[in-house]
Amino acid sequence: MEKCLSPSQIDEMICAEIPEKEKDPETYEAVKKFMMHGPCGEANPKLSCTVNHRCTYQFPKSLCNETIIDENGNPIYRRRDDGQEIEIRGVNMNNGHVVPYNKSLLVKFQAHINVEWFTRSRSIKYLYKYIRTGEDQTTAVIGEASLSKTHDEIKMYLGCRYLTAYEACWRIFRFNLNYKEPSVQRLRFHLENEQVIFPDSTNLEEIVKLPGSAVTMFTEWMETNKEYEDARELTYSEFPTKWTWHAKEKQWARRKRGKKIGRIYNAHPVSGERYYLRVLLNTAKGCTSFEDIRTVNGAVHSSYKSACHALGFLNDDKEWINCIKEASRWASGMQLRQLFATILRHCEITDPNRLWESNWETLSEDIEA
């Protein structure tokens, strides 16, 4: 599926609403039978997706009048509050419970087919995960028929694994089952006091009471800088080369073996202060607080954008030139053109012509492709 689509184009292929029964009875019945999630949560605590009386897939979803793309590039599908409901096991379910689907595929195959729009690298992981979830398993019993009323269940049980031909060949030739080089640590970051992310349905009082909710990989980086002098010699992205993150204990520890590089999560140019914070993190070393990050030559700036100006990052178009060149390693031609237009519209460009000329080869090759 084409990556870069407008909300209206997404609506043409993906729907997350209950059709009107009178106008489209065939699709209505297919949605009712295959595409309604639940009931779960409080309505059915025993369902596998329910943990602590909440759905782990965040159903029901929030209702909205139109499809939008959030600042992280993820779609929020149109789910209008149009009064359409389907009763399943005594529970009335609205558009918030619909799993996104494509009408043509759903009606043709009469099966649960979840259709999503992905633009990020995790979509590759999503597909790979489902292809390699594991082979089918079965339980078999081998033994003689007996009229005895006593049964040894342990003796009767035999777990079997089905090995497909392609995996058998792969193992016979002793190819690697998995391999990754170099190992990469993805580094999360956030603005001050914005480290907790939760769905709309979450109880805020419970979030506040969660132990360690204020402790993150990013805040612990600053705490480690406070305690160890040699840690201050590294930028945030360089940190995993010498330190390793222990998620369970939520702390950084000195690396004893292995190699790993760090990659800071992406931030879109229109995400405001979050984007400028990421710009500063690429060069800032030894920061012990959020205030430290936006301090330049002893002066504390009121915003990360102001600090970027003081450091000269935004005095020319070098930052935007590097932004396009970095994106050219993974983005499609349409994505690069959209990024170029976004920078022209939302960012402070000193010389648009020079920005185009500096990336002419990258942009022109993708436009021709």
Question: Each residue of 8-19: pLDDT tens digit?
Answer: 889 999 999 999
Strand ranges (E), the chain:
50-51, 54-55, 68-69, 75-76, 86-88, 91-93, 137-140, 158-161, 183-187, 243-246, 251-254, 260-264, 295-296, 299-300
CA 320, CA 52: separation in Å to the nearest integer? Answer: 46
Please give the model's pTM, rounded to 2 decimal places: 0.51
CA 292, CA 284: separation in Å to the nearest integer? Answer: 9
Question: Each residue of 24-65: pLDDT tens digit?
Answer: 999 999 999 999 998 998 888 888 898 888 899 889 999 999
Q: How confident is the model at residue 341 (pLDDT cuts 50, 70, 90)?
A: confident
Annotated domain spans of the chain = 7-125, 183-311, 316-369
Neighbours of 116 (CB within 10 A): 14
Which residues, including other chains, have CB under 8 Å from residue 284's CB and lie 6 or more apart?
235, 236, 292, 293
CA 1, CA 10: separation in Å to the nearest integer? Answer: 10
CA 296, CA 110: separation in Å to the nearest integer? Answer: 62
The three-class DSSP label of residue 73 is coil
pLDDT value for 271:
86
* Backbone torsion region of residue 207, taken as left when φ is above 0, otherwise alpha when ψ lies between -120 and 50, otherwise beta: alpha
CA 273, CA 322: separation in Å to the nearest integer? Answer: 19
Of 5-14, 165-174, 218-227, 314-323, where does the model show the most confidence?
218-227
